[in-house]
Structure 1
Amino acid sequence: MTNRLAEATSAYLRAHADNPVDWYPWGREPFDEARRRDVPVFLSVGYSTCHWCHVMARESFADEQTAAILNERFVAVKVDSEERPDVNAHYQRAVQAMTHRGGWPMSVFLTPDGEPFYAGSYWPARPSAGRPAFTRVLVAASEAWQHKRTQVAASVGRLAETLARADVGGTGAADPAFADDAARLALRARDREHGGFGTTPKFPHAMAIEWLLHRHARTGDAEALETSVAALTAMARGGIHDHVGGGFFRYALDREWRVPHFEKMLYDNALLLPAYATAAALTGDPALAAVARSTAHLLLTDLRTEHGAFASATDAEAAGVEGGFHTWSHDELVVALEESDVDSGLWAARLGATPAGNWDGTNVLHRFDPGNWTEDAATEWARIRPHLAEVRVRRVPPRTEDRVLTDWNALAVRGLVRAGLLLDEPEWLRAAATAATFLHEHLRVGTGLAHARKAGRATVDGFLLDHAAFALACLELFGATGDPAWFDRGLDLATRTHDRFHDEAGGWTQTARDGETLLTRHTEAGDAALPSGAAVFVEVCLVLAGLTGEDTWQRRAEDALATLQTAAATAPLAHGWLLRQLEALAAGRQEVVVVGRPGPARDALTRAVVAHPRPGTVTVTTEPTRGDRVPLLTGRTELDGAPAAYVCRDLSCARPVTTAAALAEQLRPLPAGAATRTAPNR
Structure 2
Amino acid sequence: MMLKYGTYACLAAALALIPACRKREAASDKHAATPQIAAELSTNAMQAGPQGFLSSRAGSPVHWQHWDPAVLQRARAARRLVFAFIGAAQYPGCLESLDAIDKDPSLVAKLNQDFVPVLVDIDLCREAGVAAGVMSQELKQPVSFPFILVLSPDANEVTWRPIAYSQGADLRQMFEGATDVISRMWAESPDYVEANSKRDHDNRMKRLPVADTSPANPEERNAMMMRTTRKLANLYDEDIKSVFGTGGLLPLGLMQCLASTSLDPNTPPDIARRCSAAVKAFSGAVLNSAMVDPLDGGIYSSRRGSSWDLPMINRTCMTQARAARALATIYNATKEPRSLDVALGAIHFAEEQFEAQNGLFAAQRLPGLTPMGDWLWTQEQLEQALTPEEATLWKAISGIKAMGNLALEADPKREFFRLNSLGFRVPLAQAAADLNLSTEAAAGLLESSRKKLSKARQSRVPDRAPATAASAGTSFRMVSAYAAMFTATGKPEWRDKALSLAERSRQTFAKGVLLVEQNPGTPDAVCDARAFTYALAIQAALDLAEITMDENWRLWAGDLCSTMSELFVDESGRLLEARQVSTPLALPLEDRIMLFDDSTAGVMRMNIARLEALGQSPPPTLAPWLSSLPKFEDFPVVFTDSILAASFAASRVIVEIPENASPEWREAACRLPLDRVARRFGKEPAARILQPDGSKIPVTSPESLAASIATASN
Q: TM-score range by the shorter chain?
A: 0.7 to 0.9
Instruction: State the Cα distance separating 1:136 from its structure 2 match.
Output: 4.2
1:164 aligns with 2:206: yes
Match of 1:355 in 2: 402
Instruction: State the Cα distance separating 1:165 from its structure 2 match.
Output: 2.6
Match of 1:633 in 2: 681
1:43 aligns with 2:84: yes
Match of 2:707 in 1: 664
* Partners of 2:503 and 2:344 in 1: CA distance: 23
Q: 593, 596, 603: which is aligned to 1:536?
A: 603
Partner amino acid for 2:379?
H
1:584 aligns with 2:626: no
- Name the SS of the counterpart of 2:118 in structure 1: strand
* Partners of 1:227 and 1:158 in 2: CA distance: 44
Q: 138, 149, 159: which is aligned to 1:108?
A: 149
In the TM superposition, what whole-angstrom CA distance separates every residue of 1:286-313 from its partner, at most 9, and x where no partner exists? Answer: 2222112211211232222352221212
| Change beyond 3 A, Cα 1:662–1:9 | closer
- Name the SS of the counterpart of 2:613 in structure 1: helix
CA contact (8 A) 1:40 1:73 kept: yes
Gaps of 5+ in 1: 620-631, 638-643, 672-682
* Partners of 1:316 and 1:4 in 2: CA distance: 18
| Change beyond 3 A, Cα 1:455–1:147 | closer
Instruction: State the Cα distance separating 1:55 from its structure 2 match.
Output: 0.7
Instruction: State the Cα distance separating 1:141 from its structure 2 match.
Output: 3.5
1:257 aligns with 2:314: no
In the TM superposition, what whole-angstrom CA distance separates every residue of 1:124-163 from its partner, at most 9, and x where no partner exists? Answer: 5998499953344432342354569768865764565356
| Change beyond 3 A, Cα 1:586–1:372 | farther
Q: Which has the higher contact order (CA 8 A, sep 6+)?
A: 2
Match of 2:25 in 1: none
Q: 356, 365, 383: which is aligned to 2:422?
A: 365
Q: 484, 497, 502: which is aligned to 1:418?
A: 484
* Partners of 2:70 and 2:559 in 1: CA distance: 36
Match of 2:678 in 1: 618
In the TM superposition, what whole-angstrom CA distance separates every residue of 1:254-298 from its partner, at most 9, and x where no partner exists? Answer: 222111111112222222112222222222212222112211211
1:574 aligns with 2:663: no
Instruction: State the Cα distance separating 1:581 from its structure 2 match.
Output: 1.0
Match of 1:444 in 2: 510
In the TM superposition, what whole-angstrom CA distance separates every residue of 1:475-534 from its partner, at most 9, and x where no partner exists? Answer: 211211223332332233233333333344346322347766754434332222152223
| Change beyond 3 A, Cα 1:41–1:614 | closer
Match of 1:233 in 2: 284
* Partners of 2:640 and 2:322 in 1: CA distance: 11
Match of 2:93 in 1: 52
Q: How does 1:73-472 map to 2 (within 5 A)?
A: 73-124=114-165, 128=169, 132-146=173-187, 157-158=199-200, 161-162=203-204, 164-173=206-215, 175-198=221-244, 202-218=248-264, 219=267, 220=269, 221-314=272-365, 317=368, 320-323=369-372, 326-338=375-387, 342-357=389-404, 358=406, 359=416, 362-370=419-427, 373=430, 374=432, 375-376=439-440, 377-394=442-459, 396-454=462-520, 460-472=527-539
Instruction: State the Cα distance separating 1:246 from its structure 2 match.
Output: 0.9
Question: Could you state the TM-score of these two structures normalised by the residue count of structure 2?
Answer: 0.80
| Change beyond 3 A, Cα 1:126–1:523 | closer
Q: 547, 567, 574: which is aligned to 1:480?
A: 547
CA contact (8 A) 2:248 2:306 kept: yes
Question: How many residue pairs get matched?
Answer: 641
Match of 2:575 in 1: 508
- Name the SS of the counterpart of 1:208 in structure 2: helix
* Partners of 1:28 and 1:514 in 2: CA distance: 7
CA contact (8 A) 2:290 2:311 kept: yes
Instruction: State the Cα distance separating 1:87 from its structure 2 match.
Output: 3.1
* Partners of 1:322 and 1:236 in 2: CA distance: 24
Match of 1:640 in 2: none
Gaps of 5+ in 2: 1-41, 407-415, 433-438
| Change beyond 3 A, Cα 1:633–1:197 | same
* Partners of 2:185 and 2:277 in 1: CA distance: 52
Aligned-pair identity in percent equals 19
| Change beyond 3 A, Cα 1:478–1:28 | closer
Partner amino acid for 1:370?
P
Q: 71, 82, 107: which is aligned to 1:30?
A: 71
